[in-house]
Structure 1
Amino acid sequence: MIGALNDHDLEVTKQCFAPDAVYVGPVGTAEGREQIGWYFEHLLEAFPDLQLTPWCKVPVCDPAVSAVSEYVMTGTHLGPFLLPGGAALKATGRRIAVRAAGMCTIENGLIISDREYYDQLELLSQLGLRVPEVVA
């Protein structure tokens, strides 16, 4: 899946998932290949040079989890990026390098569950957004 996503091949990326797979990320949940494909399509629109660089694959003791990896997500923000709440951040031209981790459950060679974790504050601050000051 990482290879297909790095090649920006949405059809191959979608085919890595079971028809009823579930993707859970910091911004929400996508259910089924089409919703998962929609999520990745928008991610690639926002970061057309997106690359995921795995740097650690963790041995898994839980037979229900088939793959755990840590990686760095890099890219240049050149298109609208969907924000929590449904708004879109216009292209900033900024580069990102965000550390992330993911856990996939695989059955019959297809991903049935993919849970991805990254620090949204780290990503949004790299895009130039700031946390509003709290007045006590």
Structure 2
Amino acid sequence: MDDLQLVRNEFEAWNNRNLDDWLAHYSDKSVFDVPGGVHLEDLDGARMFWGGYQDGFPDNSVVERRLFGQAGQVLLEAVFEGTHTGPLPTPDGQMIDPTGKPVRVPFCGVYLLENGTITGHTLYFDQMEMLTQLGLVN
């Protein structure tokens, strides 16, 4: 399987809410870097990443806009859509109570891949855009 298909399969597992399948795409030494200075490592870090977004937005989905890459590097441009009906952790460890509001937030994910697994995942999105859609800032 090529790197582009591996990343497509990763976010399909995400959209299907299949944690075991999603984790199977990641190396046990994977690294996640997320807005707010959040740095997560290994499969425990992957589970934390999963829980934050899947618990906060249980009906969420990732909608692909563009996917391209080469030589172990893939860029995904997509939109995260969901309704905030669960607790959402902040970068400093606090929780945002459910607002019941829908979000539609564009994002980019940069993936590093080696030997058929994802070893790095850096996520970029506009945090203020998400907070505005949640009604938490004007």
Q: TM-score, normalised by structure 2?
A: 0.87
Contact residue 26 and residue 120 of structure 1 kept, 8 A? yes
**Does structure 1 residue 127 correspond to structure 2 residue 124?**
no
**Does structure 1 residue 3 correspond to structure 2 residue 12?**
yes
5+ long unaligned stretches in structure 1: 132-136
Identity %: 27
Aligned pair partner of 2:110 in 85, 103, 109: 103
Q: Structure 1 segments of 4 or more deviating over 3 A?
A: none
1:79 maps to what in 2? Answer: 86
**Does structure 1 residue 48 correspond to structure 2 residue 78?**
no
Identify which range, 18-27 or 91-100, moves more after superposition.
Answer: 18-27
- For 1:58, what is the secondary structure of its paired residue? strand
Aligned residue identity for 2:103: I
Deviation of the 1:12 alpha carbon: 1.1
Aligned pair partner of 1:66 in 73, 77, 93: 73
Q: TM-score, normalised by structure 1?
A: 0.88
Cα RMSD between the aligned structures? 1.3
Render the CA deviation track for 1:104-135: whole Å, top value 9, x for unaligned: 1111110001111000000111111116xxxx
Aligned residue identity for 2:27: A
Contact residue 13 and residue 37 of structure 1 kept, 8 A? no
Q: Distance in 1 between matches of 2:57 and 2:125?
A: 16
- For 1:85, what is the secondary structure of its paired residue? coil
**Does structure 1 residue 114 correspond to structure 2 residue 124?**
no
Aligned pair partner of 1:34 in 28, 44, 69: 44
Aligned pair partner of 2:23 in 14, 18, 31: 14
- Higher helix residue share: 2
Q: Distance in 2 between matches of 1:122 and 1:19?
A: 32
Contact residue 10 and residue 41 of structure 1 kept, 8 A? no
Deviation of the 1:29 alpha carbon: 1.1
Aligned residue identity for 1:130: V
Q: Distance in 2 between matches of 1:25 and 1:118?
A: 9
Count, aligned residues: 128
1:134 maps to what in 2? Answer: none
